[in-house]
Amino acid sequence: MMSSESGSPERAYQKYAWLIPFVLAILLSLGMAFMLVWGTDPGVFESDTGVAWSEFSSAYPTVATYLILDERLLAAGLLGFGAYTAVVTYLKYRKGERWAWYTLWFFPGMLALLAALFYLHDQGGTGTWYVGLATIAVLGMLLPVRKFFRKQ
């Protein structure tokens, strides 16, 4: 397929690189939807704190309620962020609109921020996953860069 503006053929990696941030955004959205509906495993709380969730929630019911609310609010926010990223990627980034390229840099930035927060709170395993996801997202942003910045 010929690119209309540059006259040179569009390479497959340029044409399909939009799938990288799109798939990552869909996976983020699905993961957060799962977390929003079912929450996290109480065993995670126990492994992080050394206290069983049932013991903590009975001793501090108000704090436990706020922890659940915070978890669900975070999941809802990241679900919305993932959905927004998927929509912009599919409708505009895929077509080569420059504003979408600039806007979508927020996605790997947010993944990197999440990684940093996990590392700061001694959750290196989860932080490493987010570093990997951010790296893959950056790759998805850089592969089609010529599509967005053609020579006039």
Q: Tokens 């006039």 map to which residue?
A: 152
Query: Would you kindly state where each structural domain of the chain is located, as residue ranges?
Result: 12-144
Strand, helix or coil at 2?
Answer: strand
Report the C-alpha gap between 101 and 104 in whole angstroms: 5
C-alpha distances (whole Å) from 45 to each of 3, 27, 39, 56 are 52, 23, 11, 10
Largest CA distance in the chain: 69
The predicted-structure confidence for 55-76, as pLDDT tens digits, reads as follows: 999 999 999 999 999 999 999 9
pLDDT classification of 150: cutoffs 50, 70, 90: confident
pTM recorded for the entire structure: 0.81
pLDDT averaged over every residue in the chain: 88
